[in-house]
Amino acid sequence: MAESEDTTSLPGVTRRALLTGAATVPLARNLRGRPTGSAADPIAALYRDWGQADADARRWCREWGKLESALARSVGFPRVAISLPSSTAPTWVTTHEDIDRTLSDRPNLEALRGSLHAELAARMARWDAEATASGLAVADQQQALAFERREELAFRAFALPASNLAGVLTKLTLVLRMGETRDSDDAFPWPQIQSIIRDLRRLI
């Protein structure tokens, strides 16, 4: 994607935040109505498309979380336990690199290293097969695509210069929707942005 001179990046809402319900649409609670803008306004059009992409991302996040939880209960996450004489509890690892790192200074445990690699590979293969069969792989792909479109639309909206106060209002509304969460409703800068949005609504 080509970069604009204005490359200010907003943190956005993570998939996990959407999945756990931490992300909100604060305007629904704190402000009434939607950004003012004509149907021909490109920023307003991008905002509407962003809203649909955001809804799609949330829907796929919920579906992904439901399927992943079911799969974890069914076959367990792909991981293995490394039990060492010097440790009182096993170390759980999820990658082959973790196995090698944990056993790097123990050349006498090569047989254990080999069996752990084989066990982890088998667990990963089973997880991948079940993920495909259950639809988890599709949900993961679709939510990734929805998030990519969500970020692309926001980038395009912020790259466009506003031609009137309605465009400025739309951009500020998008900032609020992208950034505010339940845990930071009353923290800077969200109340201040809400105040500016109310001022703009009154002036337009």
Q: Quote the percentage of the chain above a pLDDT of 70.
A: 78
Q: For residue 109, tell me if it sits in a domain.
A: yes
Give the separation between CA 114 and CA 117, rounded to whole angstroms.
Answer: 5
Taking only the tens place, the pLDDT of each residue in 52-98 is 999 999 999 999 999 999 999 999 999 999 998 888 899 999 999 99
3-state secondary structure at position 22: coil
Tell me how far apart the terminal alpha carbons of the chain are, to the nearest angstrom: 34
Tell me which residue range forms the domain holding 129: 76-135
Q: For residue 94, tell me if it sits in a domain.
A: yes
Q: Which residue has the higher pLDDT, 179 or 156?
A: 156
Q: For residue 119, tell me if it sits in a domain.
A: yes
Q: Which residue has the higher pLDDT, 50 or 10?
A: 50
Q: For residue 117, tell me if it sits in a domain.
A: yes
Q: For residue 14, tell me if it sits in a domain.
A: no
Number of structural domains, the chain? 1
Q: For residue 83, tell me if it sits in a domain.
A: yes
pLDDT at 202 exceeding the cut of 50: yes
Q: For residue 197, tell me if it sits in a domain.
A: no
Q: Which pLDDT belongs to residue 161?
A: 96
